[in-house]
């Protein structure tokens, strides 16, 4: 048995959640699970349908993006995962999907405005949409640069990846992350739900205002602040 079996199992379980949560069809998504002590992550093999996955098929890759163990080719988005793991050292799970509503916002190249407490329960910021990359970066090491595009956008906007665990890549689709692969999957479903609600909110009233600061702070703090009182 592989010494990586624990992250292979975690990655497998998390990948299998994506179709159950209606976040992917066919092979339109991937999840990885990292072990920072071993300096590697397990990630879905490229183009393999979810129903054919097993824990052992998860490919082991290091934070430079080199395959360490496994016979299958890793997800085509592997280098984006590697870059984020290397530079954001508190995350242990990353998810990429093309979920319908979040992808539509990414295609419109718009941040998802914070309109309500469902959103504020998870972050105090609009869900950021990183702009599409320059053509040179796209033609070069595309997936590697996608990771930097995300990180640079967070720097520019003064966002913390520990607070805001999701991003839209302009014209592409959402990436989410978390302290565990399960939390990263949870964030993908939250991102999709918030994206749908924000779409509807603008349709119902096209000048809907952003949520006011007092409500943003209250809802975020009651779940994530030092005096939080949500959960067990």
Pick 90 or 205: Cβ nearer a copy of itself: 205
Residues 89, 134, 213, 230: which is the catalytic one? 230
Among 34, 40, 83, 106, binds a copy of itself (CB under 8 A): 106
Q: Assess whether 111 carries a catalytic annotation.
A: no
| Segment 15-20 long-range contacts (CB within 8 Å, at least 24 positions apart) | 15/44, 15/50, 15/53, 15/58, 16/50, 16/53, 17/182, 17/185, 18/50, 18/95, 18/97, 18/185, 18/188, 19/50
Report helix, strand or coil for 85. helix
Rounded to the nearest 5 degrees, what angle is found at the Cα of 21, between the Cα atoms of 62 and 187?
55
Phi, psi of 70 (to 5 degrees): 125, 145
Among 48, 53, 68, 159, binds a copy of itself (CB under 8 A): 48
Q: Assess whether 121 carries a catalytic annotation.
A: yes
Q: Does 108 bind a copy of itself (CB under 8 A)?
A: yes
Among 2, 118, 152, 180, binds a copy of itself (CB under 8 A): 118
Tell which positions 132-191 bind a copy of itself, by CB under 8 A. 132, 135, 138-139, 142, 171-173, 186, 189-190
Q: Does 100 bind a copy of itself (CB under 8 A)?
A: yes
* Helical spans, DSSP H, in 59-180: 78-87, 100-107, 117-120, 135-139, 142-157
Residues in the chain: 232
Nearest Cα residue to 1 out of 74, 45, 53, 54: 54
Q: Does 224 bind a copy of itself (CB under 8 A)?
A: no
Residues 35, 62, 111, 121: which is the catalytic one? 121
Among 10, 44, 45, 91, binds a copy of itself (CB under 8 A): 45
Q: How far is CA 134 from the centre of its chain?
A: 22
> Strand ranges (DSSP E) for 159-216?
166-169, 174-178
Task: Please work out the total of residues on this chain that contact a copy of itself, with binding judged by CB under 8 A.
Answer: 62
Catalytically active residues, by annotation:
121, 230
Interface residues with a copy of itself (CB under 8 A) are 21, 25-26, 28, 45-48, 72-73, 76, 98, 100-101, 103-110, 115-118, 132, 135, 138-139, 142, 171-173, 186, 189-190, 193, 196-205, 208-209, 211-215, 218, 222-223, 229-232
């Amino acid at each position: 048995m592989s010494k990586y079996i624990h992250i292979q199992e975690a990655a497998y379980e998390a990948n299998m959640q994506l179709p159950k949560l209606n976040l992917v069809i066919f092979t339109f998504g991937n999840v990885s699970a990292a072990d920072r002590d071993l300096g590697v992550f397990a990630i879905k093999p490229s183009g393999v349908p979810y129903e054919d996955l097993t824990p052992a098929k998860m490919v082991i890759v290091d934070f430079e993006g080199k395959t360490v163990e496994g016979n299958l080719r890793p997800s085509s988005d592997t280098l984006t995962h590697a870059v984020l793991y290397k530079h954001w050292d508190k995350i242990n799970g990353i998810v990429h999907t093309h979920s319908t509503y979040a992808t539509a916002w990414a295609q419109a190249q718009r941040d998802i405005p914070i309109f309500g407490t469902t959103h504020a329960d998870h972050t105090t910021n609009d869900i950021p949409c990183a702009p599409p990359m320059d053509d040179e970066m796209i033609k070069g090491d595309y997936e590697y640069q996608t990771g930097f595009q995300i990180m640079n956008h967070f720097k520019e906007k003064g966002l913390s990846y520990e607070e805001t665990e999701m991003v839209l890549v302009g014209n592409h689709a959402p990436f989410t992350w978390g302290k565990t692969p399960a939390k990263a999957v949870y964030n993908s479903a939250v991102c999709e739900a918030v994206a749908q609600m924000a779409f509807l909110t603008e349709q119902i009233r096209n000048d809907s205002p952003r949520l006011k600061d007092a409500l943003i702070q209250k809802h975020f703090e009651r779940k994530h602040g030092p005096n939080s009182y949500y959960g067990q």
